[in-house]
Amino acid sequence: METKKKESFKSFLKSFTPYQIIYLAAVVLLTAVCVIFFPDTMLGEEVFAKTFLVISMVTSIISNPLCELLISKQSKWNFVVDFFLIEIPELVICLNFGWYAVAATVVFFWMPIDVISFIRWTKHPSEDDANVTHVKRLKGWQTALTVVAIIAFGLLVGKLLQFVPGASDTYLDAFASAVGMSNGILLLLRYSEQWLAWLITTILYLFMDISSGAYVLLITEIAMLVNTIYGIVKWFIYTKKHPTERIKEKV
């Protein structure tokens, strides 16, 4: 059993393509350059003065692209990276900038759903590769219903946040949370449309980072935009080759 696990891990490491390795190396290098040589500009003097916040931001910057890359590879290990290296630092960042809707989403949604998603993805390996999870697509009416739910949730939470002292970017914060939660649910269910939800979420976070002066976070947002396009194409190709009806999935 132990030998089988080691072989599986080696197979997983070998699955990283030159593009994926260069992509991660570029994110790490760019982050290091910005933080070391332009700390005040990229982080802001207030942020740079708080060591715990700097560590949280740097960890999040590097881990987000890694997690998204693992998702594009249809790897269940993305949920482990997300739980320990993204959600905890994200919580620290959100509380500091007053993004309370996003902070609440981290605690009450993302952390629990990471655990559930890891378990569910483990039960649905691709018939071609045990390291890859089988993914599928939504029907047209399901996509439309998802869009309506996102808009309704964003408006509701945005209205409620107006009564929270110190909350910033109220509706932007709310819609980022709404679309992000939709992405999490679609990811849990292994639907490829989660990439479209994540594309919108990343763009919203991009505006939030700019308005807050957290310019160093633009590294991770831009990196994730690049990988989102990569993931959309990769999952689209997979779902074309592996139609859901041809796969006998476990309940």
Please give the pLDDT value at position 68: 93
CB 126 within 8 A of CB 132: yes
Distant-in-sequence, close-in-space partners of 235: CB < 8 Å, separation ≥ 6: 72, 74, 135, 192, 195
What is the rounded CA–CA span in Å between residue 249 and residue 124? Answer: 6
Please give the pLDDT value at position 172: 75
Please give the pLDDT value at position 22: 93
For the chain, the first-to-last Cα distance in angstroms comes to 25
CB 84 within 8 A of CB 111: no
Please give the pLDDT value at position 247: 44
What is the rounded CA–CA span in Å between residue 155 and residue 125? Answer: 37
Please give the pLDDT value at position 150: 77
DSSP-assigned beta bridge partners for residue 125: 133
CB 190 within 8 A of CB 250: no
Q: Tell me the two tokens of residue 240.
A: 């074309």
What is the rounded CA–CA span in Å between residue 116 and residue 112? Answer: 7
Q: Domain residues of the chain, as ranges?
A: 2-245
What is the rounded CA–CA span in Å between residue 216 and residue 208? Answer: 12
Q: Taking the model in full, what pTM does it have?
A: 0.83
Q: What is the CA radius of gyration of the chain?
A: 19
Please give the pLDDT value at position 246: 44
Long-range contacts of 4-8 (CB under 8 A, 24+ apart): 8/130, 8/131
CB 47 within 8 A of CB 57: yes
Please give the pLDDT value at position 11: 80
Average pLDDT of each block of 10 consecutive residues along the chain (251 residues)? 67 86 90 75 53 74 91 96 91 79 82 96 90 90 83 75 61 76 90 90 85 77 92 93 59 42
